[in-house]
Structure 1
């Protein structure tokens, strides 16, 4: 739906659409409807391809053509992923853009996330490296996000420590990251190296968690605990009438950590979730106990 919104804005702010552009705009709307409403992913992909064929014969320097092209590619990637045809996504995108460096940052982000999700991050290594080292892309909106995703979803999972450090400390890192972000990225690389050097966990479902296993998550758990305690101190400064706000804020933190920053299906997440719930219970008791005690006393009276 975001694609449709951007296209509508484009048609309002830009000069009137030509017949061909009006046709592609309608096709883009149709592809979005087939994707999101009808769930007909094959039809959506075919509509995207027809739209891209029309755009190929038009002026590629026109900003509206570029926007429509990116919209068709984004929907086409989603359709191929839904059809389990993700193997050919990168090559399909490269067919639409004459040079790899010209691929929009949003499409690069989607490709990195897609190949990471299906367990094939290496497929994006060379493409992302070339894209990030193109001087003109350093000024593109979303450059920093592409660099972050490349680091976290390609280099770190593949264990390419040297290239990761070069990315962080090199020219790309100086453009993409702030000083704090560079330090955080270095911490992530060091944590990954530490985990790789430790023996694998016992796969037995009845195996107990040993102190050594706990220590392997030590640095990450410490950061998580520090962050949550920081949130708690901020909330504790709030006076009367703020109890609903506290509950909403803590619920938001819980949802963010559980669903956006970790995958509960991964064994490595069990320790995270266990520690997180313990901390939340402690903070919940500290924040809510006075409220419930006062409520109980008032009922007894």
Structure 2
């Protein structure tokens, strides 16, 4: 007689119903925001203990919670909200090493696709070093996935080698294959660094050449400016400074020191004006002339 499958607990059944709604919204209706809301409601209904490592959890509840997170990750990615994926998942599992293998796989692939593998560096390392996870059948595949999509793109070659050598689940052939991939990635990384350094040297040389040309032009301009200033100063030295000073003093006395409205100042002002005219003619005339007599 065939045994009937055990019915799901009421909480798991409710979460499974929300999971079905979220999947329909994601695939059929393409309503990603509503799908995320259903996934959040389903995970909240399961409580903090489901799949978070805080206590014994029914297998059905853990599977439903994992599926809800998978649908939620896909919906967030469709809305280009990939930065929220890892924090969103960790709010339901709390610790990176407690992430289900399928959820960790999706997160690694997502952040590798958007060229942000460093986001998964600490999470992936914590998950792979956990002793409980080493007994999972998906451990070997996730180790290789983390190696190829997180550690090697970031240049963490030493950490990758230590991780491969310390894994007892890999046989010698698998270890040699992964170590060969690490060696090839290190060689390509060094080649890219050399190419980048050569390009930087060429750019620096071009910049120095340009700056040298600009410096030569600036030096020529400054030389011309110095010659112009020297010529102006030589012309200014030829002017009769004493006569100019006398004219300035007379103008100061007429405008500032005397009161033109005073009747007693009129004859004196007339004489000063005459002297000022004579000084002006003596200073600015091309040929020195004797003062004009009144």
Identify the TM-score tier after normalising by the shorter chain.
0.5 to 0.7
Matched, 1:169 2:165: yes
The answer for the alignment partner of 1:135 in structure 2 is 131
Unaligned runs of 5+ in 2: 52-56, 200-294
Pick aligned residue for 1:180 from 169, 173, 177: 173
Q: TM-score, normalised by structure 2?
A: 0.60
| Distance apart, 1:192 and its partner CA | 1.2
* 1:98 Cα deviation after fit: 3.2
Give 2:284's aligned residue.
none
SS of equivalent residue, structure 1 residue 157: coil
Question: Residue 32 of structure 1 aligns with which residue?
Answer: 23
Q: How many residues align?
A: 189
Aligned to 2:79: 83
Cα RMSD (Å): 2.2
CA contact 1:121–1:158 (8 Å) conserved in 2:
yes
Report which of the two structures shows the higher radius of gyration computed on alpha carbons: 2
Selected match of 2:188 from 188, 195, 212: 195
> Which whole-Å deviations, capped at 9, do the CAs of 1:108-135 have from their partners, x for residues lacking one?
1111111111111011111111111111
Runs of 4+ in 1 over 3 A off after TM superposition: 57-60, 199-203
Tell me, what secondary structure is at the counterpart of 1:135?
A: coil
TM-score under structure 1 length normalisation = 0.59
Provide closer, same or farther for how the CA distance between residues 99 and 41 of structure 1 changes in structure 2, counting only shifts above 3 A: same
Q: Distance in 2 between matches of 1:35 and 1:13?
A: 32
Which of 64, 72, 75 is 1:68 aligned to? 64
Q: Which runs of 5+ in 1 are unaligned?
A: 1-11, 204-301
Q: 2: CA distance between counterparts of 1:37 and 1:25? A: 18
User: 1:191-231: per-residue Cα shift (whole Å, max 9, x none)?
Assistant: 1111122243999xxxxxxxxxxxxxxxxxxxxxxxxxxxx
Match of 2:154 in 1: 158
